[in-house]
A and B are shown apart, each in its own frame.
Chain A
Amino acid sequence: MISVDAREKLKSIVGNENYQDSNEMKLVYSYDATPNFQSLPDAIVSPKNTKEVSELLKTCNEYQIPIVPRGSGTNLAAGTCPTNGGIVLLFNHMKDIIEIDEDNLTVTVQPGVITLDMVNAVEEKGFFYPPDPSSMKISTMGGNLMENSGGLRGLKYGVTRDYVLGLEVVLPNGDIVQTGGKLAKDVAGYDLTRLLIGSEGTLGIITEATLKLIPMPEAKKTVLAVYEDLESAARSVSKIISDKIIPTTLEFMDQSTIKVVEDFAKVGLPVEAEAVLLIEQDGPIEVVERDMAHIEKVCKEMNAISVQVAQSEEEADALRTARRSALSALARLRPTTILEDATVPRSEIAKMVHAIKEIEEKHNVTICTFGHAGDGNLHPTCLTDARDHDELKRVEQAFEDIFVEAIKLGGTITGEHGVGEMKSPYLELKLGEAGVNAMKSIKQAFDPNNIMNPGKIFAKDERKRVVIG
């Protein structure tokens, strides 16, 4: 609950039209893309600039009102579900591309800019910003930074974190801090930039970010390798990398995923195949040709039935777009789609694929798998029905097994989607008690009143959660 007094103060900062608390608005900001999580906030606030953000945070700190920063609400870990109430903070007035600096190869943006809009703007000037989460058409840069999002090009080019040079951040006490800058090197003090990236809105609010750009690669080639069994596909991935080739993209889809994706995208995927790999290489034309020839050879050695080369950029793009729709397309099959994000070292990918199959059978659940195979980052996705509590229990057990297996193989519980509230009970599995405590003290130092996205990352809060839906 927000007191009348606090409400008036918040309104006076952003103006009445930017403070909303109708039932309608509360409902539509009560969820994100995570199944089974819904909880109403007390209000929705849209600041127009950094100064307003700072004043808002000061006021919320004073009144101990939880703040849930929200981009487009596409995260998959209940990261923007206001499970402790409070205000949802929107960046729909802060979505400009402030500058593309062609001398320093940087772009500076506000957090609300849509990833794809920024990518298009820099590509128009001949630059390349590689991180391309499947949700890039919808996601905001604020969300990408706070989840440290990866994408289809992660294998060769890394993730969001690898492109951040500097941030402007507002801390819970209202202080405005600049970290990093347009610098190739900078060791002045702690690396706050890196600490904030991936912090899921629990430490402060990003109000501006300066990102690194690189020159556009000269050429690009895309192939689709088709397999009759899962493990051959997985072994191809490990073999390509151990042969010292780093493709731009190495994506994996199993048969059920192929079927639903084809159903939606109609790009001519082989629906009879047990698995496909979408492989891309870019760079100087000679390198692309040479690498692709080698990749083709490896795939065939690993029993690929066929390796088809995309004949045009449109065809390649259609394949990429199809792959990006995988998760949502799976939602066709059953009422509830729960996806996980377990990640293992690249060399262990075949073992992980195998383990997932066994776990699926053991718990009698339906799991479809796709993902960024080259990053060791799989998305085993459970198709279920939230109304069937019995089945849901088995799903929960299956996921627990998957997490344990991933950790055993030297992996992690989440590669790119974040912990949020959904995976918070499993954080300790990865970090151990000491690890969690170290992180908690950082949180405490930044946000002693626990107003920044409370209940996220760290399991269980004092207040009771209202799960509806």
Chain B
Amino acid sequence: MTTKEQRKQNVQQSFEDRMEYDELLNCMRCGFCLPSCPTYLETNRNEAASPRGRIALIKGVVDGVIEPDQDFEDQLNMCLGCRACEPVCPSGVNYGHILEEARDILESNKKRTAPEKAVRWFAFDKLFPHHQNMVRVNSLLWFYQSSGIQSVVRKSGVLKLFPDNMQTMEKVLPPIPKPSDLKSRPRHLHAEAEQKARVAFFSGCLMDTMFMKTNDATLSLLQKAGCEIVVPEDQACCGALHGHSGEKDSAKALAKRNIEAFESLQADYIILNAGGCGAFLVDYGHLLKDEPEWTERAKAFSEKIKDISEVLVEMDFHKKDLKLPKRIATYQDSCHLRNVMRTHTAPRKLLSSIEGVEFVELKEADHCCGSAGIYNLVQEEMSMQILDHKMEKVRDISPQVIVTANPGCLLQMKMGIEREGLGDQMEAVHLVDLLLEAVQ
């Protein structure tokens, strides 16, 4: 038997052993999820690119009806993981869990080249789990942007060698904060209004480096809303990136570290401002389901997770005096915030409450923007197709601001604006940045 065949057999066997058959059977194939699935719609209704189709493919592999061939793997890779198929499924199929397990099986059976292994080791074991290292990478980026190298690189045309969206992505990255700013964040902040709650802040690795300004804004809003805040030092990356890249064991280790870091703080809520992380944090119970000593602790942790927008509304922040110069604003949902954390009215409520802001609903705001973690880098074509269709909808309402609630979505919408050449007419911002501007 060739190694390739051997691998196929191993994969097939893992599918048989590891996929939860009851979950697969729970899909009764009604198709109610089809109209919500971006890849199904973008492929002119290819059943294989639909949630029902992907579940059937996975079941097909488990049942031994088809082999886990390249088409199968490509199809799973093309899934955005946006989970828009979940809230609409009357049977309550946990598509996200099915997908994650399937991807983990494929990844863990991959044969990687030595350099590939090294890069993954660096990214997954060294970089993301350790805030200090994130800070160091951030420093490099900062140096790149502020030293003048950036403009030299831009002029040199070196970037032309990269795919289109890499080039655009490079243009839309936010100004990177100075390394020294990153290191000195207070760990304990007092409420600036009558104290209504004690909250813990989950800073997130990307949010706390590249998007530090937004994190600062989040803390400031919480203080104004009447929250005492603790920011535990030993918190870790949420593990989503690991979990979604077939590095489940590392994800579990990170989850445990976070549970430990937060459980003794006696916080009413654990707040964050990145839907992508939140969705993973609320699912720690599932991630650690095979470790009984952790399940309860994971559940207690997850129950406290809340998006900043929810907490602000709960504390009547939208009734404060919020004001901005006149503008039309719209909101693009973060998929995981909407479909997993089920937060979608709070951000809209907050936006609508700002005097001067005319909130206009974006058609299909609940459809993924194509960012989806690192999807826009690895599935460029589909991602850009989705983004271009999104921008058509944006053009229909011509807002001056597109508001988002997740760093990935924010970059993607910035990229959309850049691609369409609309930079002089509109901008994309994170909800909390806009709110801070409005309250000041």
Once the chains bind, are B28 and A27 in contact (CB under 8 Å)? Answer: no
Q: With a CB–CB cut-off of 8 A, which chain B residues contact A93?
A: 44
Say whether B35 faces chain A, with CB atoms less than 8 Å apart: yes
Once the chains bind, are A328 and B25 in contact (CB under 8 Å)? Answer: no
Say whether B53 faces chain A, with CB atoms less than 8 Å apart: yes
Known: A23-B67, A24-B71. A31 touches B29 (CB 8 A): yes
Once the chains bind, are A33 and B31 in contact (CB under 8 Å)? Answer: yes
Kindly state the separation between the CA atoms of A40 and B63 in the bound complex, as whole angstroms.
Answer: 14
Say whether A347 faces chain B, with CB atoms less than 8 Å apart: no
Pick from A23, A138, A332: contact of B26, CB under 8 Å: A332
Pick from B31, B75, B89: contact of A74, CB under 8 Å: B31
User: Closest CB-CB distance, A73 to chain B, in whole Å?
Assistant: 7
Say whether B30 faces chain A, with CB atoms less than 8 Å apart: yes
Known: A28-B57, A72-B34, A468-B65. A328 touches B91 (CB 8 A): yes
User: Closest CB-CB distance, B157 to chain A, in whole Å?
Assistant: 35
Once the chains bind, are B75 and A138 in contact (CB under 8 Å)? Answer: no
Once the chains bind, are B34 and A329 in contact (CB under 8 Å)? Answer: no
Say whether B174 faces chain A, with CB atoms less than 8 Å apart: no
Known: A28-B47, A28-B57, A468-B65. A332 touches B31 (CB 8 A): no
Say whether B69 faces chain A, with CB atoms less than 8 Å apart: yes
Within 8 A of B (CB), among A120-142: 135, 137-138
Say whether A92 faces chain B, with CB atoms less than 8 Å apart: yes
Q: With a CB–CB cut-off of 8 A, which chain B residues contact A24?
A: 48, 57, 66, 69, 71-72, 75
Within 8 A of B (CB), among A38-81: 38, 40, 72-74
Known: A24-B71, A335-B26, A469-B63. A138 touches B31 (CB 8 A): yes
Q: With a CB–CB cut-off of 8 A, which chain B residues contact A331?
A: 26-28, 30, 90-91
Kindly state the separation between the CA atoms of A335 and B29 in the bound complex, as whole angstroms.
Answer: 12
B interface footprint on A458-469 (CB within 8 Å = 1, 0 otherwise): 000000000011
Known: A24-B66, A74-B30, A138-B31. A328 touches B48 (CB 8 A): no
Pick from A32, A92, A468: contact of B29, CB under 8 Å: A32
Once the chains bind, are A336 and B71 in contact (CB under 8 Å)? Answer: no
User: Closest CB-CB distance, A68 to chain B, in whole Å?
Assistant: 13
Once the chains bind, are B25 and A335 in contact (CB under 8 Å)? Answer: yes
Q: With a CB–CB cut-off of 8 A, which chain B residues contact A332?
A: 26, 90-92
Q: With a CB–CB cut-off of 8 A, which chain B residues contact A336?
A: 25
Say whether A312 faces chain B, with CB atoms less than 8 Å apart: no
Kindly state the separation between the CA atoms of A336 and B63 in the bound complex, as whole angstroms.
Answer: 16
Q: With a CB–CB cut-off of 8 A, which chain B residues contact A236?
A: none
Pick from A26, A38, A73: contact of B31, CB under 8 Å: A73
User: Closest CB-CB distance, A336 to chain B, in whole Å?
Assistant: 7
Say whether A3 faces chain B, with CB atoms less than 8 Å apart: no
Within 8 A of B (CB), among A285-337: 325-329, 331-332, 335-337
Once the chains bind, are B30 and A33 in contact (CB under 8 Å)? Answer: yes
The residue in chain A whose Cβ has the minimal distance to the Cβ of B32 is A328
Kindly state the separation between the CA atoms of A137 and B366 in the bound complex, as whole angstroms.
Answer: 17
- Chain A, interface residues (CB within 8 Å), range: 35 or more
Pick from B45, B57, B89: contact of A328, CB under 8 Å: B89
- Chain B, interface residues (CB within 8 Å), range: 20 to 34
Within 8 A of A (CB), among B22-68: 22, 25-32, 34-35, 44-48, 50, 53, 56-57, 59-60, 63, 65-67
Kindly state the separation between the CA atoms of A73 and B53 in the bound complex, as whole angstroms.
Answer: 11
User: Closest CB-CB distance, A333 to chain B, in whole Å?
Assistant: 9
User: Closest CB-CB distance, B45 to chain A, in whole Å?
Assistant: 5
Kindly state the separation between the CA atoms of A74 and B31 in the bound complex, as whole angstroms.
Answer: 6
Once the chains bind, are A135 and B31 in contact (CB under 8 Å)? Answer: yes
Kindly state the separation between the CA atoms of A40 and B57 in the bound complex, as whole angstroms.
Answer: 12
Kindly state the separation between the CA atoms of A34 and B29 in the bound complex, as whole angstroms.
Answer: 8
Q: With a CB–CB cut-off of 8 A, which chain A residues contact B72?
A: 24
Kindly state the separation between the CA atoms of A137 and B36 in the bound complex, as whole angstroms.
Answer: 10
Q: With a CB–CB cut-off of 8 A, which chain B residues contact A252?
A: none
Say whether A214 faces chain B, with CB atoms less than 8 Å apart: no
Once the chains bind, are B25 and A386 in contact (CB under 8 Å)? Answer: yes
The residue in chain B whose Cβ has the minimal distance to the Cβ of A336 is B25
Known: A72-B34, A74-B31, A331-B90. A92 touches B66 (CB 8 A): no
Once the chains bind, are B34 and A328 in contact (CB under 8 Å)? Answer: no
Known: A29-B47, A328-B89, A328-B90. A138 touches B57 (CB 8 A): no
Once the chains bind, are A27 and B32 in contact (CB under 8 Å)? Answer: no
Pick from A26, A38, A138: contact of B34, CB under 8 Å: A138
The residue in chain B whose Cβ has the minimal distance to the Cβ of A34 is B29
Known: A28-B56, A72-B34, A74-B30. A23 touches B66 (CB 8 A): yes
Known: A28-B53, A329-B91. A23 touches B69 (CB 8 A): yes
Say whether A181 faces chain B, with CB atoms less than 8 Å apart: no
Known: A328-B90, A329-B90, A329-B91. A25 touches B32 (CB 8 A): no
Kindly state the separation between the CA atoms of A201 and B130 in the bound complex, as whole angstroms.
Answer: 61
Once the chains bind, are B32 and A138 in contact (CB under 8 Å)? Answer: yes
Q: With a CB–CB cut-off of 8 A, which chain A residues contact B31?
A: 33, 72-74, 135, 138
User: Closest CB-CB distance, B304 to chain A, in whole Å?
Assistant: 22
User: Closest CB-CB distance, B58 to chain A, in whole Å?
Assistant: 10
Say whether A270 faces chain B, with CB atoms less than 8 Å apart: no
Once the chains bind, are B30 and A135 in contact (CB under 8 Å)? Answer: yes
A27, A137, A325, A469: most-surrounded residue (chain B CB, <10 A): A27
Once the chains bind, are A92 and B63 in contact (CB under 8 Å)? Answer: no
Q: With a CB–CB cut-off of 8 A, which chain A residues contact B35?
A: 114, 137-138
User: Closest CB-CB distance, B91 to chain A, in whole Å?
Assistant: 4
The residue in chain B whose Cβ has the minimal distance to the Cβ of A139 is B31
Q: With a CB–CB cut-off of 8 A, which chain A residues contact B56?
A: 27-28, 30-31
User: Closest CB-CB distance, B70 to chain A, in whole Å?
Assistant: 9
Q: With a CB–CB cut-off of 8 A, which chain A residues contact B59?
A: 469
Kindly state the separation between the CA atoms of A328 and B31 in the bound complex, as whole angstroms.
Answer: 9
The residue in chain A whose Cβ has the minimal distance to the Cβ of B36 is A137
Kindly state the separation between the CA atoms of A92 and B92 in the bound complex, as whole angstroms.
Answer: 28
Within 8 A of A (CB), among B109-139: none
Once the chains bind, are B28 and A328 in contact (CB under 8 Å)? Answer: yes
Kindly state the separation between the CA atoms of A82 and B369 in the bound complex, as whole angstroms.
Answer: 36
Say whether A345 faces chain B, with CB atoms less than 8 Å apart: no
Once the chains bind, are B66 and A328 in contact (CB under 8 Å)? Answer: no
User: Closest CB-CB distance, A31 to chain B, in whole Å?
Assistant: 6
Kindly state the separation between the CA atoms of A30 and B59 in the bound complex, as whole angstroms.
Answer: 12
User: Closest CB-CB distance, B89 to chain A, in whole Å?
Assistant: 7
Pick from B32, B65, B69: contact of A137, CB under 8 Å: B32
Say whether A35 faces chain B, with CB atoms less than 8 Å apart: yes
A23, A28, A92, A469: most-surrounded residue (chain B CB, <10 A): A28
Q: With a CB–CB cut-off of 8 A, which chain B residues contact A25?
A: 48
User: Closest CB-CB distance, B240 to chain A, in whole Å?
Assistant: 27
Kindly state the separation between the CA atoms of A263 and B22 in the bound complex, as whole angstroms.
Answer: 19
Q: With a CB–CB cut-off of 8 A, which chain A residues contact B29?
A: 31-35, 73
Once the chains bind, are B32 and A92 in contact (CB under 8 Å)? Answer: no
A interface footprint on B402-436 (CB within 8 Å = 1, 0 otherwise): 00000000000000000000000000000000000
Once the chains bind, are A264 and B92 in contact (CB under 8 Å)? Answer: yes
Pick from B28, B48, B63: contact of A468, CB under 8 Å: B63
User: Closest CB-CB distance, B229 to chain A, in whole Å?
Assistant: 32
Kindly state the separation between the CA atoms of A137 and B88 in the bound complex, as whole angstroms.
Answer: 12
Once the chains bind, are B66 and A35 in contact (CB under 8 Å)? Answer: no
Known: A28-B53, A29-B47. A325 touches B32 (CB 8 A): yes
User: Closest CB-CB distance, A468 to chain B, in whole Å?
Assistant: 6
Kindly state the separation between the CA atoms of A32 and B47 in the bound complex, as whole angstroms.
Answer: 11
A interface footprint on B146-186 (CB within 8 Å = 1, 0 otherwise): 00000000000000000000000000000000000000000
B25, B45, B50, B90: most-surrounded residue (chain A CB, <10 A): B90
> What are some 12 contacts across the A-B interface (CB < 8 A)?
A24-B48, A72-B34, A135-B31, A137-B35, A261-B90, A325-B90, A327-B90, A328-B28, A328-B90, A328-B91, A331-B27, A335-B22
Given A74-B30, A328-B32, 17 more A-B residue pairs with CB atoms under 8 Å apart are: A23-B69, A23-B71, A24-B66, A27-B48, A27-B57, A28-B50, A32-B29, A40-B65, A92-B44, A138-B35, A264-B90, A264-B92, A327-B28, A329-B90, A331-B28, A331-B91, A335-B26
Q: Which 7 A-B pairs have the closest CB atoms?
A: A328-B90, A325-B90, A331-B28, A331-B91, A335-B25, A24-B71, A329-B90
